[in-house]
Structure 1
Amino acid sequence: MLYLVATPIGETSEITLRALEILKSCDIVICESTKEASKLLRAHGITGKNYEVLDEHSTAEDKAALVPLCAEKNVALVTDCGTPGFCDPGADLVRLCRQKNIPVKSALGASALMGLLSLSGQRLDEFVFRGFLPAETESRQRALKELTKEKRAIIVMDTPYRLKKTLNDMKEHFSNRKVLLTLNLSQEDETVLEGPIDKVMSSVPFEKAEFMLLIYP
């Protein structure tokens, strides 16, 4: 069986009791980084686990090799932070397991997306989740141009070191729309900024940070 175990996006204590039970009892932990996963488990007194790596560099063969483990053992899939299978390679493993009729269960927990939506204070019954924008300039500009046609709320994210680049892109394409920017959610330096993109950009206190951006309708 494969368990999708949500891990903290900030504070180490932000993890459910069920997640800890699964991590304690499972035979194998599949993770993006053994360093990050073992650090989290040690913080909760869990040691002696067997780890397998599934990250952005994993090949199709690497992913396929994990499927028999999920069929024969109790396996926990974690990401460095948040819910596995959401904008990460874990989705491929989930699909492969389903194709083989291997049970997959979810242990819910911290979500930067839900945190962003709840902090907006708006009833956003409909929104477009764009996720990570392309890194390559031409593809990125095409994606942004397509998004300008969207009238619903839009949510984008990117890697921490592309924070400033993403904000500059938003200024170029969405200068007339209000935004909400969350930085380092659930951490001591958590910051939430809202307003016109120019105002938000001038108030950002970090060169890089974990972030999500909501563009209001």
Structure 2
Amino acid sequence: MICISLKELSVKGETATPGTLYLVATPIGNLEDMTFRALRVLREVDLVAAEDTRHSRKLFNHYGISTPLTSYFAHNESLKGEKILDLLRQGKSVALITDAGTPAISDPGFLLVRACRDHDLPVTAVPGASAVIAGLSVSGLPTERFAFEGFLPPRTVARRKLLHALREEKRTLIFYEAPHRLRAALQDLAEALGDDREVAVVRELTKLHEEVFRGTAGQAVEYFGRDRVRGEIVLMVGPASAQVPKETVAEALLRWRRDTDLPMRQIVKEVARQFGLSGSEVYRESLTLPDDENA
């Protein structure tokens, strides 16, 4: 296996026909989840830009791929991106891969793709494994409409704020989550969306210890609170039911004030939108609230 710098690969001048950037999906666990096309592209391109060359070398060794590797990750995207653009202008072909799954989906790649589009350089997807789609397919939750929200915020206040904002979402929601934060995320989810909200948690997709949990948010809190959680996590939440639990305007104002750090002006706007009322009506109601909601 060869790891080289982009300077070593570059040549002087440009070609009339630019090279292509290939976004190649790689396995999310099981190494057999590679397409024939992905293997061919990785063997034929001039260079493979990998999130972690050490990780990708295992895949390359498994399939006998000898294409030069260079690193491309979150903290060197700008520098490496410019150099990759230069190679593409010179007619070199480059494949972009991440440690697992599809490039640019909660992984490095978006900035490079946008730069290629801005400079009229061709970009081609070589689809394959995706934890989002694989997790959804085995979740047992509705699949007709769904929204991928990426990683949940790591901080409690931000996470709760996001979950409250998604409280009435009618699509299946898909999140990535770190194993050490899963229990806290499930607790916040149960509080924001209700203990009876349907969820699915998929752990270690396609790997030896793959696990799929289906149940309510409350059941998930109990189940994943028993032992230390390990592995990659896809957390999915079923759509809100047509019947939203009823509460008064005052109760909604108190709930938003208790569970978020938004200023009252913003809370009034959110509650007015929820109830279909004017901001002035909700504002007048807010003036009647006690200073301490527990008083």
TM-score, scaled relative to structure 1? 0.91
Separation in 2, partners of 1:201, 1:23:
42
The one-letter code sitting in structure 1 at the alignment partner of 2:238 is: Y
Counterpart position of 2:242:
none
The answer to whether residue 217 in structure 2 is matched with residue 201 in structure 1 is no
Counterpart position of 1:24:
43
Residue 177 of structure 2 contacts residue 235 of structure 2 at CA under 8 Å; is this kept in 1?
Answer: no
Per-residue deviation, 1:123: 4.3
Per-residue deviation, 1:151: 3.1
Per-residue deviation, 1:12: 0.8
Counterpart position of 1:78:
97
Match among 29, 48, 67 for residue 10 of structure 1: 29
Q: Which runs of 5+ in 2 are unaligned?
A: 1-19, 240-295
Rate the CA distance shift 1:35–1:140 in 2: closer, same or farther, 3 A.
Answer: same
Per-residue deviation, 1:59: 4.8
Match among 44, 51, 72 for residue 54 of structure 1: 72
Deviations 1:77-123 (A, max 9, x none): 00100011111221111111111111111111111111122113454
Separation in 2, partners of 1:18, 1:59:
26
Match among 81, 84, 87 for residue 63 of structure 1: 81
The one-letter code sitting in structure 1 at the alignment partner of 2:172 is: A
Map 1:92-107 to 2 at 5 A: 92-107=111-126
Residue 83 of structure 1 contacts residue 110 of structure 1 at CA under 8 Å; is this kept in 2?
Answer: yes
Deviations 1:170-192 (A, max 9, x none): 23323230101111110010000
Residue 164 of structure 1 contacts residue 208 of structure 1 at CA under 8 Å; is this kept in 2?
Answer: no
Report SS of the residue matched to 1:9: coil
- Greater RCO structure (CA 8 Å; 6+ sep): 1
Separation in 2, partners of 1:133, 1:213:
10
Separation in 1, partners of 2:138, 2:217:
17
Higher mean alpha-carbon deviation, 3-12 vs 115-124, is at: 115-124
Q: Which has the higher strand share?
A: 1
Per-residue deviation, 1:27: 1.0
The one-letter code sitting in structure 2 at the alignment partner of 1:212 is: V
Separation in 2, partners of 1:169, 1:177:
12
Residue 142 of structure 2 contacts residue 238 of structure 2 at CA under 8 Å; is this kept in 1?
Answer: no
Separation in 2, partners of 1:167, 1:137:
11
Report SS of the residue matched to 1:82: coil
TM-score, scaled relative to structure 2? 0.68
The answer to whether residue 139 in structure 2 is matched with residue 120 in structure 1 is yes
The one-letter code sitting in structure 2 at the alignment partner of 1:194 is: R
Separation in 1, partners of 2:89, 2:102:
21
Separation in 2, partners of 1:15, 1:201:
35
Counterpart position of 2:263:
none
Rate the CA distance shift 1:144–1:97 in 2: closer, same or farther, 3 A.
Answer: same
Separation in 2, partners of 1:137, 1:151:
24
The one-letter code sitting in structure 2 at the alignment partner of 1:202 is: E
Map 1:38-187 to 2 at 5 A: 38-47=57-66, 49-72=67-90, 73-174=92-193, 175-187=195-207
Report SS of the residue matched to 1:57: helix
The one-letter code sitting in structure 1 at the alignment partner of 2:37 is: R
Separation in 2, partners of 1:139, 1:60:
28
Give the total of aligned pairs.
Answer: 216
Q: Which runs of 5+ in 1 are unaligned?
A: none
Higher mean alpha-carbon deviation, 7-16 vs 137-146, is at: 137-146
Per-residue deviation, 1:206: 4.8
